[in-house]
């Protein structure tokens, strides 16, 4: 996997959205490669063809497809392409749907109407193995294991760990963005997710909780 030339599979039945997303990705990663599918069956066929010889870095998935609601079928992806990061891209952001996706092991959920830098940030995080649910509200009460999972070190990407270290040093978002080559919006999204995931009320508390849980080392 290369963050300068990621290999992605885009699954959405709306041609204009696929075109716009592809252009956005190419503007950020000129060497990006992607395959497209317009249905759940097509997505599975693409992955089956790619998995043995040319594994993609992530799957960008609209769960509302013409031939299936993909959300309850995500286990099929895990069987076919174990370990493949999945980022849901949907106009539907109902808390129960987002919670179900988290329970199923997806790496992120981002609104189709999100700003380009938010989408790029989410894709980057997911490719790196982290989790990204920018602006999403979800009910974790029936899913007691979700928060425990979210606190495990392997959930966080190297970028997210760097941001947490900077939070511990009280570095403001603008300086973090400059040092890491990100936009301030990308940093703000990451900080918001990290503090929520760690159940912290402040940036400094997020850093402290990360140390307590072994997500970071001093």
Quickly state the pLDDT bin for 198 (edges 50, 70, 90).
Answer: confident
- The CATH number assigned to the domain holding 55 equals 3.40.50.2300
What pLDDT was estimated at residue 155? 58
The pLDDT tens digits of the residues spanning 38-79 come to 999 999 999 999 998 899 999 999 998 999 999 999 999 989
| Distance from C-alpha of 137 to C-alpha of 154, rounded to nearest angstrom | 23
Among residues 127, 162, 180, which one ends one of the domains? 127
CB contact at 8 A, 9 and 27 = no
Tokens of 112: 């189709």
| Distance from C-alpha of 75 to C-alpha of 98, rounded to nearest angstrom | 16
Number of domains in the chain: 2
% helix, strand, coil for the chain, step of 5: 50, 15, 35
Q: Do 156 and 120 sit in the same domain of this protein?
A: no
Among residues 92, 127, 162, which one ends one of the domains? 127
Among residues 127, 143, 163, which one ends one of the domains? 127
Query: Within a domain: residue 135?
Result: no
> What are the angstrom distances between the C-alpha of 189 and each of 110, 115, 134?
11, 11, 6
What pLDDT was estimated at residue 2? 55
- The CATH number assigned to the domain holding 159 equals 1.10.10.10
| Distance from C-alpha of 3 to C-alpha of 1, rounded to nearest angstrom | 7
Query: Within a domain: residue 205?
Result: yes
Residue 132 per-residue DSSP state: B
Q: pLDDT higher for 94 or 71?
A: 71
CB contact at 8 A, 58 and 129 = no
Query: Within a domain: residue 14?
Result: yes
Q: Do 63 and 26 sit in the same domain of this protein?
A: yes
Q: Do 61 and 102 sit in the same domain of this protein?
A: yes
Q: Do 165 and 90 sit in the same domain of this protein?
A: no
Q: pLDDT higher for 194 or 142?
A: 194
CB environment 118-143: b (16+ within 10 A), e (fewer)? bbbbbbbbbbbbbbbbbebebeeeee
Q: Indicate whether this model's pTM tops 0.85.
A: no
Query: Within a domain: residue 182?
Result: yes
Quickly state the pLDDT bin for 200 (edges 50, 70, 90).
Answer: confident
Task: Work out the average pLDDT over 26-49.
Answer: 94
CB proximity list for 50: less than 8 A, separation 6 or greater: 9, 35, 56
Task: Work out the average pLDDT over 112-140.
Answer: 82
Tokens of 117: 């830098």
Domain that holds residue 204: 151-212
The pLDDT tens digits of the residues spanning 155-172 come to 567 778 889 999 999 999
Mean model confidence pLDDT for the chain = 84
């Amino acid at each position: 996997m290369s963050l300068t030339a990621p290999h992605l599979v885009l699954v959405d039945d709306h041609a204009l959205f696929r075109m716009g997303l592809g252009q956005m990705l190419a503007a950020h990663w000129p060497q990006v490669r992607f395959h497209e599918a317009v249905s759940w069956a097509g997505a599975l066929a693409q992955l089956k063809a790619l998995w043995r010889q040319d594994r993609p870095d992530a799957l960008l998935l609209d769960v509302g497809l013409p031939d299936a609601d993909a959300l309850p079928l995500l286990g099929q992806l895990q069987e076919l392409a174990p370990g493949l990061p999945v980022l849901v891209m949907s106009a539907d952001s109902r808390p129960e749907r987002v919670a179900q996706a988290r329970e199923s092991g997806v790496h992120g959920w981002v609104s189709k109407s999100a700003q380009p830098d938010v989408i790029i940030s989410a894709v980057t995080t997911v490719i790196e193995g982290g989790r990204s649910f920018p602006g999403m509200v979800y009910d974790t009460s029936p899913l007691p294991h979700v928060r425990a999972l979210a606190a495990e070190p392997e959930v966080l990407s190297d970028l997210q760990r760097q941001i947490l270290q900077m939070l511990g040093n009280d570095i403001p978002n603008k300086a973090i963005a400059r040092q890491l080559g990100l936009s301030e919006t990308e940093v703000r999204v990451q900080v918001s997710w990290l503090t929520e995931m760690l159940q912290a009320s402040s940036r400094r508390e997020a850093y402290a909780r990360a140390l307590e849980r072994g997500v970071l080392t001093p």
